[in-house]
Amino acid sequence: MHPGVAIVIPAYNEEALLPRTLDHLRDSLREAGIEARIVVTDNNSTDATAEVARQWGAEVVFEPVNQIARARNAGAARAGGEFLLFVDADTLVAPGTLRQAVDALASGEVCAGGALVRGETPFTGFSAFLVAFWTWLSRTRQLAAGAFVFCRRDAFAAVGGFDESVYAGEEVWFVLRLKEWGKARGMRFHLIEDPPIRTSPRKAAMFGSWQLFLQFLIVLVPAATRFRRLCWVWYRRG
């Protein structure tokens, strides 16, 4: 067991999916033999997200500015911990994934990491292509999806956390800075391939493949991600 583990869950209007995520996370931690502090950042929700989080035993911090990067940073500031794990509110993390993440950080050889992504149910059509493309990109460029990112606290502090000037894609720039920091200290990024995390396919169902593709392209243009109205898919709930 490692007492210095903290898990941060940014949550905006997530009352529907958050209970399942917290239940699964609690079971996975127990099975993996890991003690962790769980902090949910209520990112100015208009539903019962905060109340649900407290009912399921998580600590809650409020972030009034509706922005994912700020929510992640606010949660990290409250959580403390030597090792930080960021998990999305619609994502299920297996015990083996948690164990590998903590062991990698504890080895002293890894500064940060992530995991491959799978849908709870198989993605179809163009959405399946996008997931396959991200898997290829994640492997070849060693990148983490925002649904599950982990890092050392000192690395998080050194790079200034997540970039609060962007409304989407903050995990990409975060990981790139972490990798640079780690390389200077002889540490590497670690991508967990098995088991992958499982995330909700809700955005594919809500918006369709082409809308998601356009949003994916926006993330590749750093200047575009500074405008919330261009990153609306990340802030829409059905």
> φ, ψ for residue 212 (rounded to 5)?
-65, -35
Joined tokens for residue 167? 């409304």
User: 58: closest CA among 124, 9, 121, 3?
Assistant: 9
Residue 109's CB is within 10 A of a number of other CB atoms, namely: 12
Domain count, the chain: 1
Render pLDDT for 74-129 as a digit per residue (tens, 0 to 9). 999 999 999 999 999 999 999 999 999 999 999 999 999 999 999 887 777 777 88
Enumerate residue ranges in the chain where pLDDT < 50.
Answer: 1-3
State the Cα–Cα distance between residues 160 and 74, nearest whole angstrom.
12
Residue 78 maps to which CATH number?
Answer: 3.90.550.10
Predicted pLDDT at 150: 98
Q: Quick check: pTM over 0.85?
A: yes
Domain coverage including residue 78: 5-235
